[in-house]
Structure 1
């Protein structure tokens, strides 16, 4: 039975749930979930959790993300990206200094109004369902964090001005819940010419990068050879690299107590730990305090 993490390089035109559905068939496993939705036009890192590893999705979904995004100035659309209906086109007279000054306003903690074309629910209806009917409702601003924001390629704050240039490539590192297309739209508003997102590629999520990502075609080829499980990363590898450095190994009696739900003593141990059996099997995440081990999430089969 497959258990672990597949870091998929999501292709353009697929939803994140499309990818999960495809992998369920390839791996013959119903328990498949992803950490961090990507829009159909976006490509790049989509961590997919399989089998018992799906228990880690709630942790991985909270992580920061990194993107390479195309910013197209002078165009405003109803979806805030180039897949939508063009609402307005404006002339662009922006130089590098003006662009970098605008980007500086979006560094750190900011308030962002979610787009109408999003999966956020209002009274049981997803916003994009209302938007497709021509409806717009008020959305409360949400706090998000932009950890890093800059222009790629040859562009620098001290580069020669190029007034009228409309297309730029941004690097964005941000918190969970950030809409990069809304960021592009808002940058355009600050510059006065409007803007939208023309492309999006996620380069990092849940601590995984494109260097570790595999294509759906590669997974299918491995599945055809009966080798797909070899592509799975162990779920404890995610926790090892993302804030759970402690490692605790239980003796057989303590392991039996943990598996049965009985209290487990942890004298002299304080903090959060990845818990293993003596044979090396990853059992759980636990918090140790006051001489006791409190299990936070189990990763073994009952």
Structure 2
């Protein structure tokens, strides 16, 4: 069984699980997961995790994601994108300065209520299952961070915009623009969405499903797996000895003084040329613990 990460540029119309199902058929491997679900209408970076790397989902060190979003103002739908049923339309004009001013209120730390058409579970039920039954329930808000929100293009006649967003884990981009449209009084719905970076990986490193099929036909698909350590390559490296590695792998927190007193933070922990996992040092913690994948 092969282990590692395959970066796929997800095509439009596929669910993230559709991509996994395709890869299972190509690779003849059952144990494949993914990091960061994408809606069917969205395209872009989908890290697919093979074998033991599937455990990475719980400890990816880079959780921020970057998107290019097409947004149509003057309309609101039940799904918060143009695939849904229209709930509201407005012919009110919207100038670029007005839009730029509204964006200012949605940068930094904000509260967001997950959309009904989402995989969030409330009371043991998926919101999208309830939404398909025509039900809407109260959802608790969550705190998210919009690190960057940049207006790249805007046409005042069509009221269509292209924006770049970098946001924290758990953010819903379509809800972000739905809320911006509500604040403007015009409504807004997502027309397109492309994830250009996720889990520290850029879309330029991805291959398409067609390319994955070609590599499969040539018997070379698994050669393109990245080692799991690639997900941690931007973290500071902490090297340990064999005894320390044994202790960490058995769930023992190592004394910081014996590790050279590393500062609080996250570390890629290595034993010589073997990647062990993610080491975390909490403020005022007596020792370091290891998260293994």
**Common fold by TM > 0.5:** yes
Please say if 1:224 is aligned against 2:225: no
Distance in structure 2 (CA, Å) of the matches to 1:123 and 1:249: 44
2:32–2:51 contact (8 Å) kept in structure 1: yes
Q: Per-residue CA shift, 1:94-152, capped at 9, x if unaligned?
A: 10110000111101111111111111112221111111111111112211111111111
Larger displacement relative to structure 2 (109-118 or 17-26) = 17-26
Distance in structure 2 (CA, Å) of the matches to 1:146 and 1:37: 18
Within 5 Å, give how 1:1-302 maps onto structure 2: 1-60=1-60, 63-153=63-153, 163-241=156-234, 244-248=235-239, 250-251=241-242, 257=246, 261=250, 267-271=258-262, 273-278=267-272, 280-286=273-279, 296-299=290-293
1:150–1:171 contact (8 Å) kept in structure 2: yes
Pair 261,124 (structure 1): closer, same or farther in 2 beyond 3 Å: closer
Distance in structure 1 (CA, Å) of the matches to 2:281 and 2:146: 33
SS of the residue corresponding to residue 99 of structure 1 reads helix
Q: Per-residue CA shift, 1:58-86, capped at 9, x if unaligned?
A: 12286001000011011111101001011
Pair 221,110 (structure 1): closer, same or farther in 2 beyond 3 Å: same
Pair 61,29 (structure 1): closer, same or farther in 2 beyond 3 Å: farther
TM-score (norm 2): 0.88
1:11–1:43 contact (8 Å) kept in structure 2: yes
Q: Per-residue CA shift, 1:159-180, capped at 9, x if unaligned?
A: xxx7544111011111111111
5+ long unaligned stretches in structure 1 = 156-161
Q: RMSD of the alignment, in Å?
A: 2.5
5+ long unaligned stretches in structure 2 = none
TM-score (norm 1): 0.86
Distance in structure 2 (CA, Å) of the matches to 1:288 and 1:84: 45
1:15–1:39 contact (8 Å) kept in structure 2: yes
Distance in structure 2 (CA, Å) of the matches to 1:111 and 1:142: 6
Distance in structure 1 (CA, Å) of the matches to 2:254 and 2:202: 38
SS of the residue corresponding to residue 134 of structure 2 reads coil
Q: Per-residue CA shift, 1:251-287, capped at 9, x if unaligned?
A: 5x666x4598396977343335433344x23233345
